[in-house]
Amino acid sequence: MIIEKIVTNLEQMDQAEIGKRHIEKVYLESSDLVKRIQRVKTDHGKEVGIRLKDPRDLIAGDVLYMDDKNMIVIDVLSDDLIIITPRSLNEMGVIAHQLGNRHLPAQFENDEMLVQYDYLVEELLEELNIPYKREERKVKQAFRHIGHSHG
């Protein structure tokens, strides 16, 4: 089976529609969400080729295939993350500036800043006394590195 486009996302579907189908999952590393072409295997052992025509990243909950009885859905494996919880706008500005200078991609959920674990970031947060915790957590989308040069 070759998938060329995403059918929908679970968040856009009615729970009753989801409930009447058997769900197979494809578990991906968050870094694999940016790959438009890849061969994957469902949790039931079915091989699936993904070759997306549209230039878009995969997102947790994307439905690759759906018929009246079955669905194949993207799920994401947990990442080793640093969850940063600044106490003030000043702390947020300081850490965002520091991480931006290092070109580290970040994601935001509610009042938390999420970055992939890096011992140097952990040392920086300790040095700046900014609250954080290290946690295994699923993210919905890939941490996307943005190419940039200082020149």
Find the CATH number of the domain harbouring 87: 3.30.70.790
Question: Which pLDDT score is estimated for 102?
Answer: 87
Query: Is 145 among the domain residues?
Result: no
Query: Is 144 among the domain residues?
Result: no
Question: Which pLDDT score is estimated for 100?
Answer: 87
Question: Which pLDDT score is estimated for 141?
Answer: 80
Averaged pLDDT in 10-residue chunks for the chain of 151 residues: 94 91 95 92 95 91 95 95 95 92 88 93 95 93 61 52
Q: Which of the 8 DSSP states describes residue 45?
A: S
Total count of domains within the chain: 2
Whether 65 and 85 map to the same domain: the answer is no
Domain boundary among 30, 56, 76: 76
Q: Kindly report the pTM of this predicted structure.
A: 0.76
Report the run of H or E that residue 120 belongs to, with start and end. Answer: helix 119-128
Edge-to-edge, what's the strand order for the sheet holding 79-84?
107-109, 112-116, 79-84, 132-137
Whether 60 and 23 map to the same domain: the answer is yes
Helices (H) and strands (E) in the chain, counts: 3, 11
Question: Which pLDDT score is estimated for 145?
Answer: 60
Question: Which pLDDT score is estimated for 135?
Answer: 95
Question: Which pLDDT score is estimated for 148?
Answer: 44
- CATH number of the domain that residue 25 is part of: 2.60.260.20
Query: Is 8 among the domain residues?
Result: yes
Query: Is 114 among the domain residues?
Result: yes
Question: Which pLDDT score is estimated for 104?
Answer: 87
Domain boundary among 31, 47, 76: 76
List the domain range (segments joined by +) for residue 123: 79-137
Whether 87 and 70 map to the same domain: the answer is no
Whether 95 and 130 map to the same domain: the answer is yes
Question: Which pLDDT score is estimated for 149?
Answer: 46
Whether 84 and 128 map to the same domain: the answer is yes
- Strands, DSSP E only, in the chain? 2-3, 8-9, 22-28, 37-41, 47-51, 62-66, 70-76, 79-84, 107-109, 112-116, 132-137
Question: Which pLDDT score is estimated for 140?
Answer: 81
Contact 42, 24 (CB under 8 A): yes
